[in-house]
Chains A and B, each alone.
Chain A
Amino acid sequence: MNALNIKGLTKIYKNKILALDKIDLTVKEGDFFGLIGANGAGKTTLIGIITDLVVKTGGEVSIFEKNIETDFNEAKKFIGAVPQEINFNIFEKVIDILIHQAGFYGISKNIAAGRTERYLKQLGLWDKRHTKANSLSGGMKKRLMIARSLIHEPKLLILDEPTAGVDVSLRLEMWDFLKALNKEGRTIILTTHYLEEAEYLCRNIAIINHGKIIENGSTKELLSKSNKQTAIFDLKTPAKVKPLNGYKVDQIDDITIEVEMLKNQTINEVVRLLDKQGIMINSIRNKANRLEELFLSLVNNENEN
């Protein structure tokens, strides 16, 4: 069964901005799906329509085969949403925010209390349950929104940049938590700016640009389309690097060069060519991750077209 089925979805805002342009998208049940796009690409609008916060202009959306046009209240039971911005009452206590949210889904206090304890413990917020939400740190607020989105045990979890502004260790913890949720069978749709996050977590990815899906497929498939990568070489001693045959080289400073390599070219070959010039290498690293390079090249191509 498809967790999400979108056909010809269009959104034109009152100021005539075309935010979504006849989008078709399918997310299978159990998938960990990444939606990638630059700021203003249409990701949040798309999520807004799925969660009933944005009114669509045209097209169809079904969630677990419930059409949002005819059966939105039933469809909403399947969705848990974590928005980009904080959207809870900051003057309420953590525990009350979860109990109230459960109530809005028709879940009794007894059941909600059990789930609240479970999710707050899993997300490391149990000790803060009687704290007013405005006293929480940024990372805690994000985790609270994740706990809230799970309180009605939705089959589809939609996270809009959940790790933005979160420190590295917490981000890694959140990745593990999300992976575990997906393993339990929950479908997850994730939008993110961190492409290494999408590469690490998502099985399938769609790239959205100016309201259009410009690429959609499995992460592996997409990565195989990447035909170039850029490596940064830190040199052992200052040197002026002469052109390397067949490679695009940028000398950043005396001890750093960037080398762009095509799919059929290798780091070994670059090292050999540098060695020929008597240049020793201290370390090598990728300028960006593979998905990032692919994303940039696809978006740039699309924008040029």
Chain B
Amino acid sequence: MKTKETLISLYTLADREIKRTLRIWLQTLIPPVITMSLYLIIFGEFIGSQIREIDGFSYMEFIVPGLIMMAVITNSYSNVVSSFYSAKFMKSIEELFVSPTPSWVIVAGYTIGGVTRGILVGLLVTIGSLFFSTFHIYNIFIVFLFVLLTSIVFSLAGMINGILAESFDDISIIPTFILTPLTYLGGVFYSISLLPDFWQKLSKLNPILYMVNGFRYGFLGITDINIFFGLIMLVIFALVLFCVNLYLIKNGVGIKT
């Protein structure tokens, strides 16, 4: 395909994915906002008011960036995994495979869909959090970099899950048994400096800790980890996951017989 044709196919796929998210907004955009508002009310307002400040910020202010990131992570992931698996299930994925659309465009198109939903949900949760907490911005560039890279990483991870899934059960296994525990243990609700030494070390093996802390640093200027290391790790994750997706799509794993 010529460059212009390739760009048209990328635009078409990304546009289709974004419109899908917007078309089913009651399923894609509203539920995470409600869930996160409940977290803010229960953990921030009711329980948080009993907890002392962390690094000079109220508990509510401390958990807001983590909750936004949690919404970005779960929604980027679930957008791509559900969209891709549904397309596989309905066989409409064949529309892409019979066309000359390059494999990287398929990966990029679905990723753009996931990133858009992740960021949209993140924005809505941020707006919702304004009802409960004061808005701080320490470094908008860091906020943007972390949210973008994190949503890319989890969109790509969701796509791998979608490609390899053989049933609807398979698309909920990873979010339930891996993603949710790692997110909850990734410093959304606490600073790892409060943990004993062993648990601090163990927590540092959790990649989501770096995403949550990097994002929180952009908002509040406080972190438990090295931001630069977090960024490098995200870039490496994104590259590796992109290559894995490219390999799977090129070889038609889970799609071609």
Contact = CB atoms under 8 A, between A and B. Distances in A.
A105 B91 contact: no
B252 A87 contact: no
Interface residues of B, number: 30
Interface residues of A, number: 34
B256 A52 contact: yes
A54 B90 CA distance: 17
Contact of A73 (B87, B96, B102): B102
A51 B98 contact: yes
A89 interface: yes
A100 B98 contact: no
Contacts of B94: 53, 83, 87
A87 B256 contact: no
Interface in A26-50: 48
Contacts of A48: 257
A13 B257 contact: yes
Interface stretch (A74-82, A164-172, A219-227, A277-285): A74-82
Contacts of B97: 51-53
B5 interface: yes
A102 B252 CA distance: 22
Interface stretch (B10-18, B161-169, B212-220): B10-18
A55 interface: yes
B5 A106 contact: yes
A85 B95 CA distance: 13
A210 to B, nearest CB: 18
A284 B9 CA distance: 58
Nearest to B3: A106
Interface in B176-225: none
Contact of B92 (A51, A54, A73, A89): A89
A116 to B, nearest CB: 13
Contacts of B8: 103, 106-108
Given A53-B97, A76-B99, A104 B257 contact: no
Interface of A: 13, 48, 51-55, 72-74, 76-77, 79, 81, 83, 85-90, 96, 99-108, 148, 152
Q: Top 5 closest A-B pairs, CB basis?
A: A106-B5, A103-B12, A104-B99, A87-B91, A73-B100
